[in-house]
């Protein structure tokens, strides 16, 4: 597995162009199955999760041309309706291809994606919602086989506002003759992006971004062109890096969907200003902690920023508390931060107390998941000396041109390969 070498202790300074959002691009790529035609998707981040989605589309029979951040997908020849098992195991969220295959082809087959570092990651709400929609679901030797038989109008109330389940219902119900209403739907901005993409194909969905979404089935969907929204989590990650190194960054092409995070960052003493679709963050003095950060469903504080804010709070004077309300075990970055000298006590896998220290120490640590890995890079940037972050493949799943963007703002970061090449020259 690959690693980063980071020499920390320097303030970051400069501009960062925010890429397209991973968590908007992935459902949009699944939705490209629907129209049996051409979808031109712009501002798509060049990350490994997108490449897995492209592989899934190709295995289903779609033609995909990748030109930098623009993907051209021709889905008329999709003939297979079984999602490749190996590719599903690489990316749990590929379960949302089921919804679009059911809508377009009337059937889908896939294997339960299984758990990961964040917890069990069940799909019971996806399956339960399909059944309520009149989709026949059965299991054979671990494979889940779905068939659209008697579609009818229905109202689905989700037990929790699950992002993936909301997206799967939208995809499965956007074609046909019936109306589907989702109550207690996820309200994340990426859901709105998916609605806008499907509507750009001629779909008829209203309400995304709120807790109630109504989908009117359409007979046919047509070719479309769409640009993916900016990545609010990438944005937030760079904001935490500026705060942790007492630096100053200008983020360009931002999503503007980070109100809860900006409140916390201003609360610790960051200076944040907006101008159009740009954000400037400046941090001069030692930050003040004593915060109580609870993750929740949008627009509450995002779980995908919990590891990064935890890393930041290790440098904020005073005692802060973190409560992870979305995933049962989004805590595997904690032990790695402690290796760097962070003063963190874990009450359980969801509740941590963080006491601010003057600085973190360079160390050898391991990324255990995407956002935890990014938090460790931020921690290494704040620590004097050379840190090594192992298993960086996790980070490369969700951050486009990560090393280049960091080098452009003054971070000394190298991969093993770069170090070997330097030694050769």
Least separation, in Å, of the C-beta of 246 and ligand EPZ?
26
Of 259, 250, 251, the C-alpha closest to 230 is 251
Nearer CB in complex with ligand EPZ: 23/39: 23
Least separation, in Å, of the C-beta of 233 and ligand EPZ?
6
The 5-44 contact track toward ligand EPZ, x by CB under 6 A, reads: -----------------xx--x------------------
The 119-158 contact track toward ligand EPZ, x by CB under 6 A, reads: xxxxxxxx--------------------------------
Pick the catalytic residue: 105, 116, 270, 366? 116
Nearer CB in complex with ligand EPZ: 127/174: 127
Would residue 175 be called left, alpha or beta, if left means φ above 0 and alpha means ψ between -120 and 50 degrees?
A: beta
Nearer CB in complex with ligand EPZ: 259/417: 259
52 lies in the binding site for ligand EPZ (CB under 6 A):
no
419 lies in the binding site for ligand EPZ (CB under 6 A):
no
303 lies in the binding site for ligand EPZ (CB under 6 A):
yes
Least separation, in Å, of the C-beta of 126 and ligand EPZ?
5
State which of positions 65-94 bind ligand EPZ (CB under 6 A): 93
Residue 387, both tokens: 């840190």
Tell me the CA distances in angstroms from 255 to 23, 72, 234, 239, 309, one per residue in order. 13, 24, 10, 13, 19
Counting Cα atoms < 13 Å in the Cβ hemisphere of 23 gives: 18
How far apart CA 303 and CA 347 sit, in angstroms, is 18
Q: Are 311 and 341 in contact (CB under 8 A)?
A: no
Q: Are 339 and 312 in contact (CB under 8 A)?
A: no
Q: Which of 8, 20, 45, 164 binds ligand EPZ (CB under 6 A)?
A: 164
Residue 352, both tokens: 């941590």
326 lies in the binding site for ligand EPZ (CB under 6 A):
yes
Counting Cα atoms < 13 Å in the Cβ hemisphere of 171 gives: 33
Q: How many CB atoms lie within 10 A of CB 180?
A: 25
160 lies in the binding site for ligand EPZ (CB under 6 A):
yes
Sole residue written with tokens 């740009």: 278
State which of positions 174-193 bind ligand EPZ (CB under 6 A): 186
Q: Are 231 and 397 in contact (CB under 8 A)?
A: no
The 356-395 contact track toward ligand EPZ, x by CB under 6 A, reads: --------------xx------------------------
Counting Cα atoms < 13 Å in the Cβ hemisphere of 335 gives: 9
Q: Which of 151, 235, 262, 304 binds ligand EPZ (CB under 6 A)?
A: 304
Q: Which of 163, 169, 242, 246 binds ligand EPZ (CB under 6 A)?
A: 163
Give the residue ranges of DSSP H helices in 201-258.
232-244
Strand order in the sheet with 212-216: 154-157, 179-183, 212-216, 204-206
47 lies in the binding site for ligand EPZ (CB under 6 A):
no
Nearer CB in complex with ligand EPZ: 328/386: 328
How far apart CA 224 and CA 39 sit, in angstroms, is 5
Q: Are 311 and 101 in contact (CB under 8 A)?
A: no
Residue count at the site for ligand EPZ (CB under 6 A)? 25
174 is catalytic: no
Catalytically active residues are: 116
Please give the residue ranges that form the binding site for ligand EPZ (CB under 6 A).
Answer: 22-23, 26, 93, 119-126, 160, 162-165, 186, 303-304, 326-327, 370-371, 398
């Amino acid at each position: 597995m690959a690693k980063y070498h980071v020499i920390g202790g320097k303030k970051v300074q400069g501009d960062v162009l925010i890429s397209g959002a991973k968590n908007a691009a992935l459902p949009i790529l699944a939705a490209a199955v629907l129209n049996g035609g051409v979808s031109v998707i712009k501002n798509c981040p060049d990350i490994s999760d997108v490449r897995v989605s492209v592989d899934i589309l190709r295995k289903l029979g779609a033609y995909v041309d990748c030109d930098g951040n623009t993907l051209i997908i021709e889905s008329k020849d999709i003939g297979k309706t079984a999602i490749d098992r190996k590719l599903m195991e690489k990316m749990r969220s590929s379960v949302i291809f089921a919804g679009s295959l059911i809508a377009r082809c009337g059937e889908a087959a896939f294997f339960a994606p299984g758990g990961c570092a964040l917890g069990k990651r069940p799909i019971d709400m996806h399956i339960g919602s399909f059944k309520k929609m009149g989709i026949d679901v059965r299991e054979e030797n671990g494979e889940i086989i779905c068939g659209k038989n008697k579609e009818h109008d229905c109202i689905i109330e989700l037990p929790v506002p699950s992002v993936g389940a909301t997206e799967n219902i939208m995809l499965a119900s956007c074609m046909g003759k019936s109306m589907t209403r989702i109550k207690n739907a996820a309200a994340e901005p990426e859901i709105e992006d998916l609605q806008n993409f499907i509507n750009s194909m001629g779909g008829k969905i209203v309400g995304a971004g709120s807790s109630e979404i109504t989908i009117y089935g359409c007979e046919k969907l047509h070719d479309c062109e769409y640009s993916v929204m900016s990545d609010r989590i990438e944005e937030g990650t760079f904001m935490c890096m500026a705060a942790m190194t007492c630096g100053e960054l200008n983020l360009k092409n931002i999503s503007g969907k980070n109100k809860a995070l900006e409140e916390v960052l201003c609360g610790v003493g960051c200076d944040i200003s907006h101008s159009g679709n740009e954000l400037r963050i400046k941090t001069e003095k030692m930050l003040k902690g004593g915060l109580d950060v609870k993750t929740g469903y949008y627009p509450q504080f995002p779980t995908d920023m919990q590891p990064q804010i935890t890393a930041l709070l290790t440098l904020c004077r005073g005692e802060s508390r973190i409560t992870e309300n979305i995933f049962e075990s989004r805590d595997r970055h904690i032990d790695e931060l402690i290796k760097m000298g962070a003063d963190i006590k874990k009450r359980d896998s969801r509740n941590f107390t963080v006491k601010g220290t003057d600085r973190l120490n360079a160390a050898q640590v391991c990324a255990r998941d995407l956002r935890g890995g990014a938090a460790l890079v931020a921690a290494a940037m704040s620590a004097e000396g050379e840190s090594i972050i192992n298993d960086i493949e996790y980070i490369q799943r969700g951050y486009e041109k990560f090393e280049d963007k960091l080098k452009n703002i003054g971070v000394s970061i190298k991969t093993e390969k770069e170090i070997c090449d330097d030694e050769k020259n």
